[in-house]
Structure 1
Amino acid sequence: MQKHYDAASIEKEMQQLWEENDIYSYRYDNQKQTYSIDTPPPTVSGQLHIGHIFSYTQAEIIARFKRMHGYNIFYPFGFDDNGLPTERLVEKEYHLLARNLSREEMTTKCTEVAQKYEHEFTSLWKSMGFSVDWNLQYETINPTTTRISQRLFLDLVKKGKAYTKEAPVLWCTECQTSIAQAELETVEKDTSFNYIPFEVDNEQLIVATTRPELLYGVVALFINSQDSRYKKYIGKKAITPLYKHEIPILGDDNVELDKGTGIVMCATFGDITDTKWYDKYQLPYKKVILPNGTIDNEIPFIGGLRVEKAREIIIEELVKQNLLIKQETMTHLVASHERCGKSVEIIPSKQWYIDILTDKDRYLQAADEINWHPISMKNRYISWVQNLKWDWCISRQRYFGVPIPIWYCKKCGAVILPQEKDLPINPLGETPKTICKCGGTTFIPETAVMDTWATSSITPQINRKWHEHDERLELEIPMSLRTQAHEIIRTWAFYTIVRSLYHTGKLPWKDIMISGFVLAKKGEKISKSKNNGKLSPKILITEHSADALRYWAANTKLGADTFFSESELMPSKRFMNKLWNASKFSFMHLQDFDKNLLLCKNKPHLLPADKWILEQINQTMLTCTKLLDQYEIGLARHEIDDLFWKDFCDDYLEIVKDRLYKPHIHGEKERCAAQYTIYYALLNILKLYAIYIPHQTEYIYQSFFRVYEKCISIHLMEWKINEEINNSILGFGIELKRVLGEIRKYKSENNLSMKTELKEFIIITDAIYIDYFIRESKDIKACGTIGDLIINTR
């Protein structure tokens, strides 16, 4: 081993070693239990950042941990490369708008950009030392995935869980497509509360609204039937300002008495409440906002204008006609599209839906059947399910997505399904191989594609290759683990649970591991869309090493958010330097190590300190196993750190140092015992750290241990744990560390060099440890530079 650890060259060397020897391939062995991981396929929407490194590394550590516990590891990687995120990336990279291109041109550009970014993503994950089986890679729009996605869509149609209807839908006027409730995010915006008079029997009823541009589309006024101020007006007619439309005044208990004036206008459509009233009271529809975000040309005053400009002009007209009673500035929450940040409108449109409202109780039951890590994240899921208001709209008026495999009969409008054997199909370029039940032979193809979540929600089925000729029948559902960040609980976690229950009747996975965010500043996560991840992972790896990043990523409690700056990597580098130097010191004393000792049934006669450190390592392995089984990689790492820094380096190596250097004083057998102990202590410490810093631990293993051990890689070794704890020797270890601490403390407080001899030192301990201390006295005297060592009982 060279003087200093050269991470840049060694990490590449170790990655090549793993690849050449196929270390991480999924090998099914029916004698071993399979541990399967449903890994989030990152969306192809921009460069990966430190937040991705943080969360994906935490999950990868679990894969390594389970591999070293003897499981078959099914660890695939996918790329969510279809849908609106990829299209918006293409628009950004090529400085164009998708709507100005043909479908074929846009699809070609999306494919090119997706392949470019997937290559970059793969290169980054490999440079981080991820133990993925890349033979299991999938993309959410490749032919196999498209076929599985379409097959499962047809399964939902046949079960009555997927349906089409024309109804009010959430609509992004920027992206010009329908969206789902889960794609909304709320943002605070300053606006005005405008108080406007409606006329009733020559009286004025004042209504406060933030959406005066929808006055033309007002189809009713609503009053709470318990409101003593206004209930006399219920059942009467009102006249709208400016447009002079006659509309009904209706009573509904959902009207908030203390909001605005207590009278609410229902327009088609201002918000979700409007859609409910529209449906409940069978109100007429008046078109105002068009799919492109402009006002319908037929509407006086504001026709052809975009929404915000129309609001400005209509307020000016109200002022001009003395119809603006007053105006208040307010801040309120506005629903916006998470992909582009633009405000969302509600317009009627024919779309495809998956029924998610019918079975809410089953989804809530699922929350109790899945193991949530950390458990607090379960509440986020429950809250989302309880507040669902819309069925899941899965159709998108975009280009680059899995085609909805449907035609409509031109004669009767019936939905025509393809045969499963013909999948995958693109209805725009193919026709049904059958005629309609009505006898019709001409068909209209569905032009919409599926939302990207409609495919990524079936990753367990994609991993299994559901109903493909090479289906992985041994891969059971539920899978073992889902890993993801907490902001997509409402999308990826929820949608996957829905789809798995519908298609298999089973949960998609047993455990779900939720990571926290890396924050750029207080309350703001680092994200591709915000472009606030200043340091690219590629640069960080080059300058600091992958293992340094991995060690940092394992520093927090699961689910906790953390801040990041380059200075956060300094503890990682100090640790790696310490491990390197401790290994070099150990190997220096193991050059003449007798290999036969490893094969001999009778171990060397170990001294109490030797037995203690080996038992302490065993105890740490037990503790860490329990923590890692709960996915607490940070807490487990801190246990290992304490073992390595304090127990092994500060105490054990110090106490056996003289024994290693001076066998003529301590005895050859005693030195041999120390060598044996260091060999197994360091090897097991490396195995513990291997899940965190795979490159450095592998290199140290290959530098010395590979000659003695059978395994070609440390990552194919197992943590061997003895469940029977020797509490007596562990208790002695605590006492031994106390004694060493007292010696150091005394010398430090008296400004003495640690090499200064103490003529006499008295150890007072429990009777059960007396014999241990007597047998260990020579090491203690040498370590503490002590003349006479006196050992007494308490």
Structure 2
Amino acid sequence: MEPKIKEKHWSPDLELEIQKIWQETGLYKFSRRKGKVFSIDTPPPYASGKWHIAAAIHYAQIDMIARTMRMMGYDVYFPFGVDRNGLPVEVEVEKKNGINMFSTPREEFLRLCKEYLDEAEKDIISISKRLGLSADFDSYFQTDSVLWRTQTQRTFIEAFKKGLVYEDVRPNNYCPRCRTTLADAEVEYKEMESILVYLRFSEKESRRSVVIATTRPELLPACAAVIYNPKDDRYKDLLGKTLITPLGDEVIVLEHPSADPNFGTGIMMVCSYGDYDDVRLFRELGLKPKIIMNEDGTLNELAGKYAGMRTDEARKAILEDLKDYIEKAEKILHRTPVCWRCKTPIEIVPMKEYYLKQKDFLDELKQKVLSKAKFYPEWSVNYWLDWVNSIETDWPISRRRYYGTEIPVWYCKSCGKPALPEPGGYYRPWKEDPPFDTCPHCGSKAGFVGEDRVFDTWMDSSISPLVYNGYGWNEELFKELGQSDLRPQGKDIVRTWLHYTLLRTYHATGEPAFKHIWLSGMGLDANGRPMHKSLGNIIYPWPLLEKYGADAIRLAGASEAHHGSDFRISEARIAGAFKFLQKLWNVSRFISSFPFPEKASLSPTDIWILGELNKTVEIALEGYKKFDFFDPATSARHFVWEVFAPHYVEMVKWRAYGQGSEEEAISAWWTLHTSLRYILRILAPITPHITDVIWRRIYGGTVHEESLPEPKKEWETDYAKLGDRLMEFNSYVWKIKKERGISFKESVSLSIPEELKPFEKDLRALHNIK
């Protein structure tokens, strides 16, 4: 009998053929035929550089969720978007072109950003399609499109009208290199080498020397007080007294528990501002701040002779000037706050910014989310709770950058108050006149000055479920979809993308943004290290896609760890997955040689393998229900490679080839096909290409319109309990033949154990037992 599968080997080229069929037939179009919908808030990948293999696997697993839900009977709304706003692309454009954003005409810089994004986006879309993502690529979203930016501005205007937005001058995280405010969520911490300098102050009355250690001597001109811990008896006699700084300024000595008796000398400067502890201390102690920092990170005229210097320059200069006051200096590792994008140490600078209220809503938000949304894995909710419970400030949402959605505000030239347009348009106040000519506050027609700031990029990406689902631009779609069913994302952006989306959607709708929140682990190299250019361990997907194909990458990623855990990836693991695909192909090709009978009278061997199949189905379904692909992948792989192919297939070949009765042949054919059909459906969400090619060649139609298999009670028999013993016996016989140096086909004289007598006929045929 000729096999229906002609090719002797599985090839990545066959993936391209099946993808063409999917595209031509519109297989994954959101059809609304099934009556129940599952919508995915797909993470819009950031178009600022090439994807590495971990990102590819992350998106492949999101596709596995979409495919799972289709096989569970849902119409799946699986939009795709690309994130194209914000600081990262500006940094890349500056590097690539050797320019500074603020020294480049705004229109020219925006053009360069768009050109860069268009090129970077092509690679992301190409890899996503090549991985077999069943998302909607015919009308994908872009966060810098007129549509998206219009909706970002709409939600801001709506929030402004609700009293959720205000403008204030406050100390903020500020990146001197990027020259913009950063939210707390955009601040990272890095262990950096620093100099701990011990400076001699003197007590005003007694001239007693008091040594104070600091890592920020350049902030000495802004020192307003020194503090010690109330439990530190060494400095009790200084309480309320005045110290003279090495610069000759007078500062008061106060008690406060923030002082660490074990750091430095136990007494510390309070300056405006070294960090947020200083901000809090100035407020609590009623101190008057002396701001010596400019917005560009240089010191201003209040710093005296150090005015105009950058902080690192001022630090060197002040240490040189005060060398007679230095007791000692030592190198230490200091936990330093840095910009999330360029890694420059941040400064705390008072800035006038727009804020979105969040502090007042955190308890309500927690209650809503915890009562209506489910996290996968369950313990991952702590990532979000830990962040929410640490929030102490509202969200500063304005940025002094160029490539972002403009803040839709104009200021009256007469009264100076802000005026906002009606939502529904895309407004660029820095270059356009407002769509009104009268101030709503004072009635003046003297004109307006447009806002030139843009939004924090998370203001755009945080409304992804609203934009995807039609909020503000397709009310019929939004009425149908409402909140997204699923947010899939990495754990590394919980405090930004997840939290801000929950906050913004709650502001807009009063409800949580999602029913299910899926937080994945990080992709690591074979040694367990994060992939970074500096480590030289980044694996790019294109060479692996060409060599092994998408399904091998997808299977390797799914097989590595349970969902939520960090996972390791290497070419060796992908090569191993590719070998399994070859095994699956070979087994399927063998089975495709035989007809698929409608029914059969099963032998004990057939019933045994169906019992083993039942176990595999149960394990796989449990994993799929939790959006965890480790168990489906590993259980199916084990069944095919360790049980079905080496034992069952070998035991029934003689029957399948017609060396027994017609009834025995039919039972083998029926069981072979039934097992294969179950395995193909189990693996379809994970390895969609090979399973669909096999299904189409043998059975017609597509596996992706089938349902996930269910276990059958009638297959739960005592024969299944003998599986381990049966396979042990097979391995025992093969071992004996190998030790004797005889072919596996040669006869051997052995006794078949009594408990395995039900399988005797197949065992004798397999091992040629006399």
TM-score range, shorter chain: over 0.9
Matched to 1:189, the amino acid is: M
Query: 1:515 deviation in Å?
Result: 2.0
Q: What residue in structure 2 maps to residue 718 of structure 1?
A: 707
Could you tell me which runs of 5 or more consecutive residues in structure 2 were left unpaired when the two chains were aligned: none
Query: 1:471 deviation in Å?
Result: 4.3
> Secondary structure at the residue paired with 1:131?
coil
**Cα pair distance change 1:425/1:612, threshold 3 Å:** farther
**Cα pair distance change 1:522/1:609, threshold 3 Å:** closer
Q: Structure 1 residue 403 and structure 2 residue 402: aligned?
A: no
Distance of 1:76 and 1:366 partners within structure 2? 26
Q: Structure 1 residue 416 and structure 2 residue 405: aligned?
A: no
Contact 2:526–2:570 (CA<8 Å) still a contact in 1? Answer: no
Distance of 2:525 and 2:614 partners within structure 1? 39
Distance of 1:348 and 1:542 partners within structure 2? 53
Indicate which of 757, 773, 790 corresponds to 2:747: 757
Distance of 1:723 and 1:177 partners within structure 2? 62
Q: What residue in structure 2 maps to residue 688 of structure 1?
A: 682
Contact 1:352–1:394 (CA<8 Å) still a contact in 2? Answer: yes
Q: Structure 1 residue 645 and structure 2 residue 650: aligned?
A: no
Larger deviation, residues 449-458 vs 567-576: 567-576
**Cα pair distance change 1:46/1:748, threshold 3 Å:** same
Q: What residue in structure 1 maps to residue 333 of structure 2?
A: 331
Indicate which of 346, 349, 352 corresponds to 2:348: 346
Larger deviation, residues 517-526 vs 134-143: 517-526
Indicate which of 650, 655, 672 corresponds to 1:654: 650
Q: CA RMSD in A?
A: 2.4
Q: Structure 1 residue 666 and structure 2 residue 668: aligned?
A: no
Contact 2:465–2:484 (CA<8 Å) still a contact in 1? Answer: yes
Indicate which of 17, 20, 23 corresponds to 1:16: 20
Distance of 2:109 and 2:768 partners within structure 1? 78
Q: Structure 1 residue 491 and structure 2 residue 496: aligned?
A: yes
Contact 1:477–1:507 (CA<8 Å) still a contact in 2? Answer: no
Distance of 1:398 and 1:35 partners within structure 2? 37
Distance of 1:522 and 1:393 partners within structure 2? 39
Q: What residue in structure 2 maps to residue 385 of structure 1?
A: 388
Distance of 1:389 and 1:325 partners within structure 2? 37
Q: What residue in structure 1 maps to residue 523 of structure 2?
A: 518
Q: What residue in structure 2 maps to residue 38 of structure 1?
A: 41
Distance of 2:490 and 2:565 partners within structure 1? 11
Indicate which of 179, 182, 196 corresponds to 1:179: 182
Q: What residue in structure 1 maps to residue 109 of structure 2?
A: 106
Distance of 2:232 and 2:730 partners within structure 1? 79
1:50-449 matched pairs, under 5 angstroms: 50-135=53-138, 137-199=140-202, 200-201=204-205, 202-242=207-247, 244-297=248-301, 299-319=303-323, 322-365=324-367, 368-369=370-371, 370-424=373-427, 426=429, 428-433=431-436, 434-441=438-445, 442-449=447-454
Larger deviation, residues 250-259 vs 684-693: 250-259
> Secondary structure at the residue paired with 2:79?
coil
Q: What residue in structure 1 maps to residue 721 of structure 2?
A: 731
Query: 1:168 deviation in Å?
Result: 0.7
Contact 1:457–1:492 (CA<8 Å) still a contact in 2? Answer: yes
1:707-748 CA-to-partner distances (Å, cap 9, x unmatched) read xxxx3x221221231453532143354554344344435545
Distance of 1:623 and 1:148 partners within structure 2? 43
1:40-74 CA-to-partner distances (Å, cap 9, x unmatched) read 11111111111211211122212212212211111
**Cα pair distance change 1:531/1:447, threshold 3 Å:** farther
Query: 1:495 deviation in Å?
Result: 1.4
Matched to 1:697, the amino acid is: T
Q: What residue in structure 2 maps to residue 570 of structure 1?
A: 575
**Cα pair distance change 1:163/1:256, threshold 3 Å:** same
Larger deviation, residues 164-173 vs 7-16: 7-16
Larger deviation, residues 124-133 vs 419-428: 419-428
Matched to 1:552, the amino acid is: A
**Cα pair distance change 1:725/1:40, threshold 3 Å:** farther
> Secondary structure at the residue paired with 2:303?
coil
Indicate which of 616, 632, 642 corresponds to 1:620: 616
Matched to 1:385, the amino acid is: V
Contact 1:367–1:381 (CA<8 Å) still a contact in 2? Answer: no
Distance of 1:18 and 1:95 partners within structure 2? 44
**Cα pair distance change 1:144/1:217, threshold 3 Å:** same
> Secondary structure at the residue paired with 1:555?
helix
Contact 1:301–1:314 (CA<8 Å) still a contact in 2? Answer: no
Distance of 2:10 and 2:651 partners within structure 1? 30
Number of equivalenced pairs: 759
Distance of 1:118 and 1:68 partners within structure 2? 30
> Secondary structure at the residue paired with 2:298?
coil
Query: 1:646 deviation in Å?
Result: 2.3
Matched to 1:450, the amino acid is: F
Could you tell me which runs of 5 or more consecutive residues in structure 1 were left unpaired when the two chains were aligned: 788-794
Distance of 1:364 and 1:161 partners within structure 2? 18
Distance of 2:473 and 2:508 partners within structure 1? 15
Distance of 1:522 and 1:316 partners within structure 2? 45
**Cα pair distance change 1:263/1:523, threshold 3 Å:** farther
Contact 1:84–1:400 (CA<8 Å) still a contact in 2? Answer: yes
Query: 1:671 deviation in Å?
Result: 0.9
| Structure 1 runs (4+) greater than 6 angstroms displaced | none
Query: 1:318 deviation in Å?
Result: 0.6
Distance of 1:84 and 1:39 partners within structure 2? 21
Q: What residue in structure 2 maps to residue 630 of structure 1?
A: 626
Distance of 1:410 and 1:725 partners within structure 2? 82
Distance of 1:570 and 1:522 partners within structure 2? 17
Distance of 2:564 and 2:190 partners within structure 1? 24
Matched to 1:550, the amino acid is: R
Query: 1:136 deviation in Å?
Result: 5.1
Contact 2:168–2:353 (CA<8 Å) still a contact in 1? Answer: yes
Contact 1:189–1:331 (CA<8 Å) still a contact in 2? Answer: yes
Q: What residue in structure 2 maps to residue 792 of structure 1?
A: none
Q: What residue in structure 2 maps to residue 784 of structure 1?
A: 767
Contact 2:614–2:715 (CA<8 Å) still a contact in 1? Answer: no
Indicate which of 693, 696, 710 corresponds to 1:702: 696
Distance of 1:471 and 1:142 partners within structure 2? 21
Distance of 1:151 and 1:533 partners within structure 2? 43
Contact 1:464–1:471 (CA<8 Å) still a contact in 2? Answer: no
Contact 1:363–1:385 (CA<8 Å) still a contact in 2? Answer: no
Distance of 1:288 and 1:657 partners within structure 2? 85
Distance of 1:343 and 1:417 partners within structure 2? 35
Larger deviation, residues 310-319 vs 511-520: 511-520
Contact 1:409–1:436 (CA<8 Å) still a contact in 2? Answer: no
Distance of 2:560 and 2:368 partners within structure 1? 28
Query: 1:403 deviation in Å?
Result: 0.9
Matched to 1:650, the amino acid is: P
Matched to 2:51, the amino acid is: L
Matched to 2:661, the amino acid is: G
**Cα pair distance change 1:378/1:725, threshold 3 Å:** farther
Contact 2:600–2:667 (CA<8 Å) still a contact in 1? Answer: yes
> Secondary structure at the residue paired with 1:684?
helix
Q: What residue in structure 2 maps to residue 587 of structure 1?
A: 592
Larger deviation, residues 326-335 vs 501-510: 501-510
Distance of 1:387 and 1:700 partners within structure 2? 52
**Cα pair distance change 1:444/1:282, threshold 3 Å:** farther
Distance of 2:654 and 2:715 partners within structure 1? 26
Distance of 2:44 and 2:506 partners within structure 1? 21
> Secondary structure at the residue paired with 1:249?
strand
Distance of 1:106 and 1:119 partners within structure 2? 21
Distance of 2:511 and 2:739 partners within structure 1? 65
> Secondary structure at the residue paired with 1:222?
strand
